[in-house]
A and B are shown apart, each in its own frame.
Chain A
Amino acid sequence: MLLPRGDYQVWENFSLTLPEDLTFGPGIHYLSGANGSGKSSMITKLLLPRLLKTSSIYCVYLEQQMQVQFTTVKAYASVVQPRKTIDSESETIDFLLDNLLCAWQKEPRPCYVVMDESLFATRVLDFLQANLPSFSLIYSAHTQLVKADQTILFEAISPTRNEVYVSRP
């Protein structure tokens, strides 16, 4: 998955500049930056629309503040698996990951998991490493949880523009 270089107006008064193309292949991609630097905006405005348009992959997105996602998944689960109870955010994540694994076992495709400051990041990573031979994990956090294949840094250039660039180990 590729985000071409360029200026992206993600909000009315805020844009992200990518001086180079960003590529998200198999591996771990860590998004790092201060509060308000555009990490979530890049996820929701640039990455997810592209991922969701790609029918040849599986994509799971774990929201930063997932109360609405929790309620939605709980309602969905009550229809597709009436005996399944989901009573917490961690059970929501388990449901989504099990769903991903079932789909992958039926028909393997590249798997993308996008986590925005998830409280359950370590658990998700353990699951992916234990169950999938290859995956792309894109996560944002204020502390790096595991060694990443690429770190994507968000740096303020002006109050209305941030630059996004890659730092590789």
Chain B
Amino acid sequence: MNQTDTQLVCDSGCPLCGGGTLREELLLYNIPTESYNALQAEFSSLTGKKLSTDSDVSILSGGQKVLLMCLCALFSPARKILFINLWHSLDAINRARTKELITLRQNGRDISYSEEGYAASQG
């Protein structure tokens, strides 16, 4: 498969891949183990919740799952990322902080958004 043609699709309608522990999510996103602590620290700073790799992520709130999905994508090695309806599930503060985080961690990657459902929900 040509890696330049692949895209990591992150749909906020289905934010967890594994639905079990944080470790499963990190493995599925192919996140380097040396980044685990940084990701956990970012999540804690966004939500106030401390997660260990053994934490059950299925008990997070809907918005927190979306934040975790976003962090996993940003800490993953994916060169192209598509976020679907990313903003819909986030409150105003988390939208702003997530935008900052994406800018900070973009590193020349191709990040795009699809917000059709979100736009429809806004009338």
Which residues on A are within 8 Å of B, measured CB to CB? 11, 33-36, 40-41, 64-67, 89, 116-123, 141-143, 145, 159
The A-B contact count (CB < 8 A) is: 68
* Contact A142 B91, CB 8 Å, known A35-B63, A36-B49: yes
* Contact A143 B61, CB 8 Å, known A65-B14, A119-B117: no
Q: What is the distance, in angstroms, from A127's C-beta to the closest C-beta of chain B?
A: 14
The residues of B that contact A11 with a CB separation of less than 8 Å are 59
Stretch at the interface among B1-9, B26-34, B71-79, B82-90: B82-90
B93 touches A117 (CB 8 A): no
Question: For the complex, what is the distance from the CA of A159 to the CA of B48, rounded to whole Å?
Answer: 8
Q: What is the distance, in angstroms, from A9's C-beta to the closest C-beta of chain B?
A: 14
Question: For the complex, what is the distance from the CA of A149 to the CA of B62, rounded to whole Å?
Answer: 25
Q: What is the distance, in angstroms, from B39's C-beta to the closest C-beta of chain A?
A: 17
Q: What is the distance, in angstroms, from A21's C-beta to the closest C-beta of chain B?
A: 25
CB of B113 within 8 Å of the partner chain: no
Interface size range of chain B in the complex: 20 to 34
Q: What is the distance, in angstroms, from A157's C-beta to the closest C-beta of chain B?
A: 13
B15 touches A36 (CB 8 A): no
Closest chain B residue, CB of each to CB of A121 = B121
A65 touches B88 (CB 8 A): no
A117 touches B92 (CB 8 A): no
Q: What is the distance, in angstroms, from B103's C-beta to the closest C-beta of chain A?
A: 20
Which residues on B are within 8 Å of A, measured CB to CB? 12-15, 47-49, 59-65, 67, 85, 88-94, 117-118, 120-123
- Sample 20 A-B pairs with CB under 8 A, ordered by A number: A34-B91, A35-B61, A35-B62, A35-B67, A35-B90, A36-B63, A36-B64, A64-B62, A64-B89, A65-B12, A65-B13, A117-B62, A117-B89, A120-B121, A122-B123, A123-B120, A141-B121, A142-B89, A142-B90, A145-B121
Q: A67-B14, A89-B13, A116-B62 are in contact. List 19 more A-B contacts (CB 8 A).
A: A11-B59, A34-B93, A34-B94, A35-B61, A35-B94, A36-B63, A40-B61, A41-B61, A64-B89, A65-B13, A65-B14, A65-B65, A117-B88, A119-B117, A120-B117, A122-B123, A142-B92, A143-B122, A145-B122
The residues of A that contact B15 with a CB separation of less than 8 Å are 65
B123 touches A35 (CB 8 A): no
Instruction: Determine which of B60, B90, B92, B121 lies in contact with A118 in the assembled complex, contact meaning CB atoms within 8 Å.
Output: B121
* Contact A120 B120, CB 8 Å, known A36-B61, A40-B61, A65-B62: yes
The residues of B that contact A41 with a CB separation of less than 8 Å are 61
